[in-house]
Amino acid sequence: MEDFLIKTKGISKEFSGVRVLNNIDFELKKGEILGLIGENGAGKSTLMKIISGLYFPTEGEIFFEGEKVVINSPFVAKKLGISIIPQEFNLINHLNVYENIFLGNEKRKNKIVLDKKAMRKKTKELMNKLKTVIDPDTVIEGLSVAQKQMVEIAKALSRDSKLLILDEPTTVLTINEIEILFDLMRNLKDHGVSMVYISHKLGEVKEICDEVMILRDGNFVSKANTSKISEKEMAENMVGRVLSEVYPEKVSPDSDLCLEVKDYSVDRVLHNISFDLKKGEILGFAGLVGAGRTELAETIIGIRKKKSGELLINGEKVEIKNPLDAVNNGIGYLPEDRQGTGIITNFDLIKNTTLVSLRNYGKFIINKKKERERTREYVDEFKIRAASLKTKLEFFSGGNQQKVSLAKCLDPQPKIIIFDEPTRGIDVNAKREIYFFINDLVKKGISCIFISSELEEIIGMCNRVAVMKEGSLAGILEGEHINEKEIMYYATGVKGAA
Ligand SMILES: Nc1ncnc2c1ncn2[C@@H]1O[C@H](COP(=O)(O)OP(=O)(O)OP(=O)(O)O)[C@@H](O)[C@H]1O
Ligand SMILES: [Mg+2]
């Protein structure tokens, strides 16, 4: 009996003549968890899309349970027992949770009649396994990003698979949900399921994976046992050189206040939130999923209607009723859900970059040259990997889409920026560059609200940290109080008046 579940030989992939994967061999044993890491655009998702039948390789062979297979559609992959939790959500927004989970795989009473009861029941069981409360009948549209992620995970788990591919499943999850997912993965492993785990969080890779394989520019770099390679070595193998310190030195803010939020409330979502932001300050927002951080950001920029509350910018009262008012008042917003509200995937790079700042490019006639030049600057600044400025964003890797979302948020030159998970899906090296970039912004007197589920970056970047719990502000931490333990105390209600 062949010990390997899957083996690939010489897999290559070209898109319109551009080679993005080159001669990749890899193998995965039964019950093994393989970490797959590499910079944004290294080819991780492409390799996994090939194995799950979404792309067909330009060259190469795949062997599954010892037999050569041709995986030329997702259907073939599913039949072999290969499931994927994709990097970008693949849910149908107007359908509900159970309809999405069983899409194309519906349970039926007979040939014609759907067994809705059975599907609801199974969905509930899956949610219980994930220790998540989501009603099977909720329409996807109404879910938070973290909840959508949980539905994607449930969907993959609903099929009994031999190989489960997880493409950055934890970017929007907090510690609790990540632990639940890891427990599930360990359990599946014990049942002989093999997994490929893609993540930019190298600590997670070390924790959950047996082996780690590193790709750079579509090439195989190395494979190692995770107990024998440090996070630093992983990162250096990814970028091909030695890395310097991750976080820039914190800059002290001015004492002037640039933003004051007073007594913000939204029915059932936010309760009397008050805080201020100094000029040149980075104010972090931490909390568990559902604590209300994104909702607060959306209320500030006018996506959500508030029940009460006042907003002052530079000491003057302003009324922000919609996102355009926010832009006009110098507030920029980088949304957490890049494919929902951030970018438009069937627009090209230029159109996305200037989406909210178009009027800066001419009143009646758009200055195309200026648009192109600005976009080119962002491409250089953030090292956005794009075939051309005219490439549609749907062909970008996840991390590169995130960088475009960032460029779009910065282009109107805001004075206050709300970053919601700014480094979501971004590789270690690019993260570091973004941290230094944000630090340069605050040196110029720009103020930032920094929402993140990664405590490490909150601690590394912020002057103060506001911790939210269940729609309320549990506390604001400063100086030596900014540490993981203290943040978790407030987030979970051990400390604070929430
Ligand atoms: N359908 C496509 N058409 C053209 N180019 C593509 C397509 N899909 C991927 N690419 C290109 O292939 C390269 C590898 O992309 P891939 O999505 O595999 O990267 P990744 O390693 O998953 O990166 P990330 O960490 O950002 O998710 C990128 O340069 C990307 O632009
Ligand atoms: Mg990817």
Q: What is the pTM of this model?
A: 0.80
Ligand 1 nearest atom to the CA of residue 87, by list position:
27
Tell which one of 11, 12, 14, 15 to mutate to probe ligand 1, the residue whose CB is within 8 A of the most ligand atoms: 15
Question: Is 4-239's fold the same as 257-492's?
Answer: yes
Q: Ligand 1: which residue has its CA nearest to atom 2?
A: 395
Q: How far apart are CA 322 and CA 301, in angstroms?
A: 6
Q: How far apart are CA 403 and CA 437, in angstroms?
A: 12
pLDDT for residue 272 is more than 90: yes
20 in ligand 1 pocket by Cβ < 6 Å? yes
Contacts for 204-207 with beta carbons within 8 Å, 24 or more apart?
204/170, 204/178, 205/35, 205/37, 205/234, 206/231, 206/234, 207/182
- DSSP-assigned letters across all residues of 269-320: TEEEEEEEEETT-EEEEEE-TTSSHHHHHHHHTTSS--SEEEEEETTEEE--
Q: Ligand 1: which residue has its CA nearest to atom 29?
A: 41
pLDDT in tens, 22-50: 999 999 999 999 999 999 999 999 999 99
Output the CA 10–ligand 1 centroid distance in Å.
18
pLDDT in tens, 205-219: 999 999 999 999 899
Cβ–Cβ < 8 Å for 335, 300 = no
- Percent above pLDDT 70 for the chain: 99
Cβ–Cβ < 8 Å for 447, 281 = yes
pLDDT at res. 372? 95
- Nearest in space to 403 (alpha carbons), one of 352, 453, 359, 451: 352
CATH number for region 257-492: 3.40.50.300
Tell which one of 11, 46, 379, 400 to mutate to probe ligand 1, the residue whose CB is within 8 A of the most ligand atoms: 46
Q: How far apart are CA 470 and CA 474, in angstroms?
A: 9
| Per-residue confidence band for 2, with pLDDT thresholds at 50, 70 and 90 | low
CATH number for region 4-239: 3.40.50.300
pLDDT in tens, 402-426: 899 999 999 999 999 999 999 888 8
Q: Which residues of 440-460 are buried (b: 16+ CB within 10 A; e: fewer)?
A: ebbeeebbbbbbbbbbebbbb
Count of other CB atoms within 10 angstroms of residue 156: 19
Average predicted confidence (pLDDT) for the chain = 92
398 in ligand 1 pocket by Cβ < 6 Å? yes
96 in ligand 1 pocket by Cβ < 6 Å? no
Q: Which residue has the tokens 């009948």?
A: 137
Instruction: Determine how β-strand 59-64 pairs with β-strand 4-15.
Output: antiparallel
Output the CA 88–ligand 2 centroid distance in Å.
9
Q: Which two tokens stand for residue 211?
A: 């082996």
pLDDT in tens, 109-139: 888 889 999 999 999 999 998 888 899 999 9
pLDDT in tens, 181-206: 999 899 899 989 999 999 999 999 99
φ, ψ for residue 98 (rounded to 5)? -70, -30
**Secondary structure class of 427 (helix, strand, coil):** coil
Q: Which runs of consecutive H residues, i.e. helices, occur in 383-422?
A: 398-410
Output the CA 173–ligand 2 centroid distance in Å.
17
Q: Which residues of 378-404 are buried (b: 16+ CB within 10 A; e: fewer)?
A: bbeebebbbeebeebbeebbbbbbbbb
pLDDT for residue 1 is more than 60: no
Ligand 1 nearest atom to the CA of residue 396, by list position:
31
Output the CA 410–ligand 2 centroid distance in Å.
24
Classify residue 421 by its DSSP letter.
S
**Secondary structure class of 467 (helix, strand, coil):** strand
Q: Name the residue ranges covered by the structural domains of the chain.
A: 4-239, 257-492
87 in ligand 1 pocket by Cβ < 6 Å? yes
pLDDT for residue 498 is more than 50: no
Ligand 1 nearest atom to the CA of residue 168, by list position:
27
| Per-residue confidence band for 289, with pLDDT thresholds at 50, 70 and 90 | confident
Output the CA 51–ligand 2 centroid distance in Å.
14
pLDDT at res. 16? 84
Q: How far apart are CA 271 and CA 473, in angstroms?
A: 8
pLDDT in tens, 478-490: 999 999 899 989 9
- DSSP-assigned letters across all residues of 368-389: HHHHHHHHHHHHHHHT---S-T
Output the CA 422–ligand 1 centroid distance in Å.
20
399 in ligand 1 pocket by Cβ < 6 Å? yes
Q: How far apart are CA 475 and CA 331, in angstroms?
A: 24
Q: Ligand 1: which residue has its CA nearest to atom 24?
A: 40
Output the CA 167–ligand 1 centroid distance in Å.
13
Output the CA 41–ligand 1 centroid distance in Å.
5
The answer to which of 64-68, 85-89, 293-297, 328-332 has the lowest mean pLDDT is: 85-89
CA dihedral 200, 38, 77, 166 (to 10 degrees): -10
**Secondary structure class of 392 (helix, strand, coil):** strand
